[in-house]
């Protein structure tokens, strides 16, 4: 690898593919293939190391796991993140006993042994008492995103705690999106099939243009699509990333996407009378008969849902082989009660969503809604087919997608499902040109058939993901009186919860009799006080935790304010990682893009005493006698991709979900073995892809690549599964939830627990007054990932060249009316008296009733001097309690009404002991 060429003149050996001046002495000139850690896209990269230093990162041109040779700026900037002199190099102990947002930790260097012994001591005691006293979690965002559940989460899962708190928490990624994508696509999220799609509707996401999953290949694919002439309508309050590249930008008021989607559905179903009847009959629960109690009418014997066969004129179970046709319209009498196919109910239900009503709520002109609905229905080409690799497949070149923005409100679940409904009625789901989930169907490597994931139907015929790492909420569990501080058990459709970082958490916990207290937190990455909703509420919670351990590479606001022990993790460029690319997650190529299993490996050795976090966790496991259990867990985990569909233990009993057959578990790691991380990777690769494809092979090859079959890319019609356009399970859950909420005393918006996808005004809209007249919201900038990258000087420089990144934006006309102008220092104040400040930049491309801040800026950590004071922290404005959470999926309300006025200084820095701003 390292080529010593000291004796040779450099002239004879130019540094290939790098600009060099003069004749520097070169003794190492090496390219290493790996994956990027800039965001959870984990693009494949090749890093150029010269004389032991990484000098350049390029995208890997030879596979589909990224932009095929390109990178985004964050990816290039990882060099500076790696070499940041502010990084943690040694384990550190807090010597300042006080904890709080602006406290100085007064770090003191300690040894790894001292750190691990102390942590292990706490863990041992807690595990014996009640493992739930450990809160664990971390960042889903930075380059280790996919590494969170597998690399880090496993420890907590084996330890036995259910308190799993993810960075960003309630305003994490997309509680509604994950719920909806899980239900409808057995995936974490969705994306248009850019290759064949002709018409994309985007609601509050910047897929391929600014943020979102799989940014790497989405940037490439969406650019191809634009250049090919794909139409792209973007509903967004701001015309920046998605809107800026759209063929049509439609300004919308935050929180009103559902009514647009429902009005369009109404026009398509009831005015244009267009729908993909075959899809509805075969692929949805549209034909399932619903009784007056909102529930499926079930066969008395088998308990299976019934449908109506109009040919035989009788009710049959949904998978009766004698079915000749499915009735999706009409009204029937079954078992003596009125029975209506759910599609008929949905069709009737959406009638109330007229475009005019939608206009009133969203400000989108009724005529625009009508026109787009018509264009979209036309573009869907219902009935069309396409031949791909010899397979004749339905062609539905339309897709509607949503992510964090559209569903970041108290109507989150409904908004996302309403958007999915649009795709469902035209059959544009996991077929060419339509909306795709991230790969849910993998037949495995051709040599081994391993690394296999196949979705399957549950007992009611509903789509069930083929791996336990796929997203909840399907299959849903029963509601329980909460026993975790997340309180998620109460509402099993929720994927992430804002609790316990809410202002009403303590009240509920009191009402539950305070089952236990969180005595320790173990956090990987994540900036729990800057990226979560409201730093003061977060402070109140984290201050009470007596012992906090944080694994990070860089100081952040959370570490400084609250961590007792800091463990210096490796940067992705200096360590191995298996889980960051162990999919098929939402970093996996979609459509006909090939399969890849790329490697993350060190380009340079970890400097100082930095250590790979997983190995550090294993050391802890050794110390508390948990290594055997972890080894077993990995065995189950890897085996599940050996072709055995399975779901993790505790929900396996629900709705006939497949469980792993213990006899089929391959023992990759013997329980008592203490192997290295590399050894585990080597075994996993060999198990999946063959003896010749171990770590050595993949280290050089960079990825295991094999072509995708059309059947895998567009699996929908190959698997006998249905999706719920009528959410019977929500009706089923409702009474239980209401009952179980009594004990904690939680009041949720019960009306939202309806099986019919509906529009409910978001909490933000209810708070609009004459005084608090502007909707404030945040969005991601392509230059930054969470709070992490704000510390990178190159990105800081280009951020200053960008008019919006560090500024608060507002419609130019609105600003004028308020007597504000570019460059004014302004204060945003919410009706809860929460305030944040920053510099104004007006723009034309913004809804006049809104004011916006680019995501997670406004840093105050002293250990991160580049990020200090840059931009504005939006989250300070947010209120967090049950009222500001979507009752169905528990997304936090991410918009708030504010008033805006000029101010003379940055008040949110008043308490900070550093530089006053």
Ligand X SMILES: Nc1nc2c(c(=O)[nH]1)N[C@H]1C(S)=C(S)[C@@H](COP(=O)(O)OP(=O)(O)OC[C@H]3O[C@@H](n4cnc5c(=O)[nH]c(N)nc54)[C@H](O)[C@@H]3O)O[C@H]1N2
237 binds, among ligand X, another protein, ligand SF4, none (CB under 5 to 8 A by kind): ligand X
| Alpha helix ranges (H) inside 489-612 | 505-511, 535-543, 557-562
- Footprint on residues 606-635 left by ligand X (CB under 6 A): 613
From the list another protein, ligand SF4, ligand X, none, partner contacted by residue 572 (C-beta under 5 to 8 A by kind): ligand X
Contacts 24+ apart (CB under 8 A), 366-370: 368/250, 369/260, 369/263, 369/264, 369/267, 370/267
Least distance CB 458 / ligand X (angstroms): 28
Q: Cβ of 16: how many Cβ atoms within 10 Å?
A: 8
Question: What's 913's DSSP letter?
Answer: S
CB of 758 to ligand SF4, least distance (A): 36
Binding partner of residue 210 among another protein, ligand SF4, Mo ion, none, CB cut-off 5 to 8 Å per kind? another protein
Ranges of H-type helices in 70-210:
73-82, 112-129, 147, 154-159, 175-185
Q: Which residues contact 301 (CB under 8 A, 6 or more apart)?
A: none
- CA 93 from chain centre, in angstroms, equals 32
* Min separation Cβ 798 and another protein, Å: 4
Among 622, 802, 825, 849, binds another protein (CB under 8 A): 802
Residue with Cβ nearer ligand SF4 (600 or 883):
600
Q: Is 711 in the site for another protein (CB under 8 A)?
A: no
- Closest CB 524 distance from ligand SF4, rounded Å: 18
Kindly calculate the radius of gyration of the chain based on its CA atoms and give it in whole angstroms. 27
Query: Residue 139 CB, nearest distance to Mo ion (Å)?
Result: 9
Stretch near Mo ion under the rule CB under 5 A, chosen from 167-175, 228-236, 353-361, 594-602: 167-175
346 SS3 class = helix
Task: Please identify which residue in 131, 594, 865, 914 interacts with another protein, judged by CB under 8 A.
Answer: 865
> How many whole angstroms separate alpha carbon 376 and alpha carbon 365?
17
- Note whether 72 binds ligand SF4 by CB under 6 A: yes
Pick what 242 binds: ligand X, ligand SF4, Mo ion, none; C-beta below 5 to 8 Å, kind-dependent.
ligand X
DSSP string, 851-897: EEEETB--B--TT-TTTBT-S-BSGGG---SGGGB-TTT-PBP--EE
3-class DSSP state of 559? helix
CA–CA separation, 862 vs 104, rounded Å? 8
End-to-end CA distance of the chain: 49
- The answer to whether residue 213 forms part of the interface with ligand SF4 (CB under 6 A) is no
CA–CA–CA angle 753, 757, 761 (5° rounding): 75
Interface segment toward ligand SF4; rule CB under 6 A; list 31-39, 430-438, 589-597, 622-630: 31-39
Do residues 75 and 45 make contact, with C-beta atoms less than 8 angstroms apart? yes
Q: Is 173 among the residues that bind Mo ion (CB under 5 A)?
A: yes
Nearer to ligand SF4, 38 or 105 (CB): 38
Burial of 282 (0-12, 13-18, 19+ CB in 10 A): middle
Q: Does residue 71 touch ligand SF4 according to CB under 6 A?
A: yes
Contact 396, 382 (CB under 8 A): yes
Q: Is 80 in the site for another protein (CB under 8 A)?
A: yes
Indicate which single residue of 725, 856, 889, 900 sits in contact with ligand X (rule: CB under 6 A).
856
Q: Tell me the two tokens of residue 522.
A: 């173990």
Q: Which does 326 bind (CB under 5 to 8 A by kind): ligand X, another protein, Mo ion, none?
A: none
How near is the Cβ of 750 to another protein at its closest, in Å? 37
Binding window for Mo ion (CB under 5 A); candidates: 166-174, 304-312, 791-799, 869-877: 166-174
Question: Cα–Cα–Cα angle for 178, 183, 185, nearest 5°?
Answer: 85
Give the pair of three-digit tokens for residue 53. Answer: 């230093």
Q: Please, which of residues 859-888 interact with ligand X by CB under 6 A?
A: 874-875
Question: Does the protein bind ligand SF4 through residue 43 (CB under 6 A)?
Answer: yes
User: Which one, 529 or 812, has the nearer CB to Mo ion?
Assistant: 529
**Which residue, 29 or 361, is less far from another protein as judged by CB?**
29
Residue 365: half-sphere exposure toward Cβ, Cα within 13 Å: 6
**Does residue 235 interact with ligand X by CB under 6 A?**
yes
Q: Could you say which of 66, 156, 168, 176 contacts ligand X (CB under 6 A)?
A: 168
Q: Which does 36 bind (CB under 5 to 8 A by kind): ligand SF4, ligand X, Mo ion, none?
A: ligand SF4
The contact set with ligand X (CB under 6 A) reads 37, 39-40, 139-144, 167-168, 171-173, 203-207, 210-212, 215, 235-238, 242, 252, 254-255, 257, 403-406, 408-409, 524-527, 531, 551-554, 556, 569, 571-572, 613, 777-780, 782, 784-788, 855-856, 874-875, 895
Query: What does the binding site for ligand SF4 look like in residue numbers (CB under 6 A)?
Result: 36, 38-39, 41-43, 66, 71-72, 74-75, 215-216
């Amino acid at each position: 690898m390292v080529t010593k060429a000291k004796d040779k003149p450099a002239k004879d050996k130019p540094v290939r593919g790098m600009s060099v001046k003069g004749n520097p002495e070169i003794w190492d000139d090496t390219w290493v293939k790996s994956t990027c850690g800039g965001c959870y896209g984990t693009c494949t990269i090749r890093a150029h190391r010269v004389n032991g230093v990484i000098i350049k990162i390029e995208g890997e041109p030879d596979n589909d796991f990224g932009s095929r040779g390109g990178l985004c700026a964050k990816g290039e900037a990882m060099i500076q993140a790696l070499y940041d002199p502010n990084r943690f190099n040694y384990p550190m102990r807090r010597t300042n006993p006080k904890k709080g947002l602006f406290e100085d930790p007064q770090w003191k260097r300690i040894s790894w042994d001292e750190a691990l012994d102390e942590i292990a001591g706490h863990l041992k005691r807690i595990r014996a008492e009640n493992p739930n006293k450990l809160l664990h979690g971390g960042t889903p965002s930075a380059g280790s995103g996919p590494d969170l559940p597998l690399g880090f989460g496993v420890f907590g899962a084996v330890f036995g705690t259910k308190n799993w708190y993810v960075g960003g928490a309630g305003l994490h990624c997309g509680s509604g999106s994950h719920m909806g994508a899980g239900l409808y696509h057995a995936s974490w999220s969705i994306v248009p099939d850019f290759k064949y799609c002709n018409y994309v509707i985007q609601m509050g996401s910047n897929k391929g243009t600014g943020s979102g999953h799989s940014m790497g290949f989405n940037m490439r694919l969406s650019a191809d699509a634009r250049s090919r002439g794909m139409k792209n309508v973007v509903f967004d309050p701001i015309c920046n990333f998605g809107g800026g590249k759209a063929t049509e930008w439609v300004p919308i008021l935050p929180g009103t996407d559902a009514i647009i989607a429902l009005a369009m559905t109404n026009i398509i179903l009831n005015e244009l009378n267009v729908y993909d009847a075959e899809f509805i009959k075969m692929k949805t629960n549209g034909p399932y008969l619903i009784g007056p109690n909102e529930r499926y009418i079930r066969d008395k014997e088998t308990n299976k849902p019934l449908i109506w066969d109009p040919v035989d004129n009788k009710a049959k179970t949904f998978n009766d082989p004698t079915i000749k046709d499915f009735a999706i319209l009409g009204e029937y009498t079954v078992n003596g009660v009125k029975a209506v196919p759910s599609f008929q109910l949905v069709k009737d239900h959406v009638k109330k969503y007229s475009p005019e009503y939608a206009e009133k709520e969203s400000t989108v002109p009724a005529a625009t809604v009508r026109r787009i609905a018509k264009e979209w229905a036309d573009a869907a080409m219902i009935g069309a087919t396409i031949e791909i690799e010899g397979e004749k497949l339905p062609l539905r070149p339309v897709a509607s997608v949503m992510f964090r923005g559209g569903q970041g409100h108290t109507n989150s679940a409904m908004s996302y499902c309403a958007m999915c409904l649009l795709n469902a009625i035209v059959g544009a789901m996991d077929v060419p040109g339509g909306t795709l989930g991230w790969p849910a169907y993998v037949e495995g490597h051709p040599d081994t058939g391993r690394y296999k994931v196949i979705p399957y139907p549950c007992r009611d015929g509903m789509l069930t993901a083929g791996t336990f790492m796929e997203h909840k909420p399907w299959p849903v569990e029963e509601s329980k009186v909460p026993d975790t501080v997340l309180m998620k058990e109460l509402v099993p459709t929720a994927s992430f919860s804002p609790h316990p970082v809410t202002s009403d958490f303590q009240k509920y916990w009191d009402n539950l009799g305070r089952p236990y207290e969180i005595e320790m937190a173990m956090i990987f990455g994540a900036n729990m006080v800057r990226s979560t909703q409201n730093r003061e509420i977060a402070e109140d919670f984290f201050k009470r935790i007596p012992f906090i351990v944080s694994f990070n590479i860089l100081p952040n606001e959370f570490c400084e304010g609250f961590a007792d022990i800091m463990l210096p993790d490796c940067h992705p460029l200096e360590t191995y990682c298996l889980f960051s690319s162990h999919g098929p997650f939402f970093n996996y190529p979609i459509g006909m893009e090939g399969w890849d299993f790329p490697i993350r490996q060190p380009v340079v050795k970890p400097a100082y005493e930095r250590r790979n976090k997983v190995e550090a966790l294993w050391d802890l496991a050794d110390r508390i006698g948990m290594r055997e259990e972890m080894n077993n867990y990995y065995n189950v985990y890897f085996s599940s991709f050996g072709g055995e569909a399975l779901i993790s233990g505790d929900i396996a009993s629900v709705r006939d979900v497949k469980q792993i057959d213990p006899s089929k578990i391959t023992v990759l790691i013997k329980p008592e073995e203490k192997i290295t991380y590399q050894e585990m990777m080597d075994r996993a690769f060999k198990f999946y892809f063959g003896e010749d494809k171990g770590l050595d092979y993949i280290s050089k090859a960079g990825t295991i690549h094999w072509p995708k079959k059309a059947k895998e890319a567009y699996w929908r019609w190959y698997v006998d599964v249905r999706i719920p356009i009528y959410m019977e399970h929500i009706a089923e859950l409702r009474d239980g939830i209401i009952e179980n909420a009594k004990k904690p005393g939680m009041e949720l918006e019960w009306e939202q627990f309806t099986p019919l996808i509906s529009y409910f005004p978001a909490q933000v809209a209810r708070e609009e007054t004459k005084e608090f007249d502007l909707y404030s919201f945040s969005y991601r900038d392509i230059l930054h990932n969470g709070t992490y990258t704000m510390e990178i000087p190159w990105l800081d420089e280009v951020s200053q060249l960008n008019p919006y990144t560090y500024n608060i934006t507002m419609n130019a006309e609105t600003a004028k009316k308020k007597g504000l102008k570019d460059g004014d220092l302004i204060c945003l104040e919410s009706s809860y008296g929460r305030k944040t400040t920053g510099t104004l930049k007006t723009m034309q491309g913004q809804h006049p009733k809104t004011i916006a801040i680019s995501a997670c800026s406004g840093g105050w950590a002293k250990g991160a001097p580049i990020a200090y004071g840059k931009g504005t922290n939006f989250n300070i404005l947010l209120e967090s309690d049950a009222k500001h959470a979507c009752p169905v999926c528990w997304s936090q309300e991410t918009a708030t009404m504010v008033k805006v006025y000029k101010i003379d200084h940055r008040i949110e820095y008043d308490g900070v002991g550093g530089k006053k701003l």
